[in-house]
Amino acid sequence: MAGIYIHIPFCKSRCSYCDFYSSTFLGNREEIISNICEEIKEQKKFFIHNESIKTIYFGGGTPSLLSFKELKTIFNAIEKNFVLDLHEVTLEANPDDLNKEKITEITQLPINRLSIGVQSFNNNNLRLFNRRHSAQQAIDAVKLCQDKELNNISIDLIYGIPSQTIEEWNINLDIAISLKCPHISAYHLTFEDGAKITKQRDKGVIKELNEEESIDLYKLLVQKLKNANILQYEISNFAIPGMESKHNSSYWNETPYLGVGPSAHSYNGKIRKWNISNSRLYLQYRKEKKTYFKLEAIDNNTKYNDFVITSLRTIRGMNLKLLKENFSLKIVNHCLREANRFISTGDMTINDEYLALSDNGIFKSDFIMENLLWVE
C-alpha cells in the first residue's frame, strides 16, 4: 500500500503564520497542473514493489482553489498510471472556497475527506492570521458540507496565539466539538523564520505566550476532546476512534508515498526526494530537463532517525519489537540508554511493547527526540 501527495502551490493571499510553500501568483496555474500530471506519469515506477495507492492527499497551498476540471485532470493522470485501491482521498480546503456549488463538485469526485483550515473560531485571531474568512463562514462551511453528506471532515485549529486566554480557547473547543467533525488537528502556533507574525513578535507588537500558559491550553485541549470521545493519537491529531487520518498515519508508519508538485516530498523505503520549493524554477527546470529535486539514499542510521521522529509523534509510541528487529544492537542500546534518562524524569513511559512520550514529555518532544537520534 502507498500514498500520493499532490502539492497545489497557490494561495489567494498569505497567512501571517504560514511557512508552507505557496505563491499568490496564479498566472502559471495551467502549466503547473499539466506538469503535475506529467510528473505523475514519469514517477509511475517510483514505488519499489509497485504498491497500489491507498490514499491520496491534495495539500498546499490551497487545493480548494482548483476547479472541478483541474481536479479531474489530476485524478485521471493518477488512475492512468497507478493501481488504485483507494481508502481515503483528502482535499485541504479553505472555508471561503466552500460554497454549495463547490461542495457539489467535490462530491462528484473520488474525494471522501475534507481537511478544512478553520484555524480559530475567534475573529480577532483570524484577523491577526490574515485569514480570508470569518468564524461564522467557517461554521457555515462545515455545515454546508454536512448537509451534502460530506461528513468525513477534519478541522485545523491553532492555539497558543498571543493574548489567547484559557476562556477563549475553551469557547473555540466548544464550537469545534459542537460541529461533530470526526477529526481535529490542533497545532501550537510556531513562530517560523520569515513569517509575518514572527516579525510582529520581534518588533514587540504581539507577545508570545509563556510555557506555562501553553501547557494549560494543551491540557484543556486533550481533556475536552477526550471527554467528547475525540482521542489524541498523535501529538497534534485527534479523532473519534476509527476516523484517524489514514494518509498522515502512513507517514508515521513509514508507508511509501509519492509527492508531486513544487516542494512535495517523496519516500519509497530506499530514497527520499524533495522537489524544489519554487514554482517558477520547478517549471523552468522541468522544461529544460534539468533536475528539479534532491535525492537522498536512506542508510540504516537515517532509517533509525526517521523511525524515532515518526514513531514518537504517535501517542502509542515506538514499537520496541520493530526497533530490535530492524536496527543493530549498538543503535538499540543507544536508544534505550537515552530513553532511560527520560523515563527516570517522567518524560517518557515504557512497557513491554512501546516506548512513548509522557504528557509532560510531549512538551519537550524536540529535545527528547534529538537525544535519541543517532549521530555518527
Total residues interacting with ligand SF4, rule: CB under 6 A: 11
Which of 55, 62, 245, 248 binds ligand SF4 (CB under 6 A)? It is 62
Instruction: Supply the DSSP string of 61-105, one letter for each residue.
Output: S-GGGS-HHHHHHHHHHHHHHS-EEEEEEEEEE-GGG--HHHHHH
20 binds ligand SF4 (CB under 6 A): yes
Which residue number, 3 or 61, has a Cβ lying nearer to ligand SF4?
61
Q: How many residues does the chain have?
A: 376
Reduced to 3 states, what is the DSSP secondary structure of residue 266?
Answer: strand
> Quick one: residue 323, left, alpha or beta (phi over 0 = left, psi -120 to 50 = alpha)?
alpha
* Per-residue exposure over 46-55, b if at least 16 CB sit within 10 Å of its own CB, e if not: bbeeebebbb
Cβ atoms 133, 126 nearer than 8 A: yes
What is the nearest approach in angstroms of ligand SF4 to the Cβ of residue 133?
Answer: 10
Which of 43, 51, 60, 313 binds ligand SF4 (CB under 6 A)? It is 60
Cβ atoms 305, 373 nearer than 8 A: yes
15 binds ligand SF4 (CB under 6 A): yes
d(CA 73, CA 70): 5
Stretch that binds ligand SF4, among 57-65, 164-172, 189-197, 269-277 (CB under 6 A): 57-65
Nearest CA to 347 out of 306, 317, 302 is that of 317
98 binds ligand SF4 (CB under 6 A): no
Binding mask 108-147 for ligand SF4 (x = CB under 6 A): ---------x------------------------------
Which residue number, 114 or 368, has a Cβ lying nearer to ligand SF4?
114
Which of 5, 8, 22, 263 binds ligand SF4 (CB under 6 A)? It is 22
94 binds ligand SF4 (CB under 6 A): yes
What is the nearest approach in angstroms of ligand SF4 to the Cβ of residue 49?
Answer: 33
Which of 3, 61, 63, 256 binds ligand SF4 (CB under 6 A)? It is 61
Contacts with ligand SF4 in 157-176 (CB under 6 A)?
none
Strand order in the sheet with 318-319: 318-319, 354-357, 348-350
Q: List Cα–Cα distances, 229 to 116, 226, 232, 233, in angstroms.
A: 20, 5, 9, 12
14 binds ligand SF4 (CB under 6 A): yes
Residues near ligand SF4 (CB under 6 A): 11, 14-15, 18, 20, 22, 60-62, 94, 117
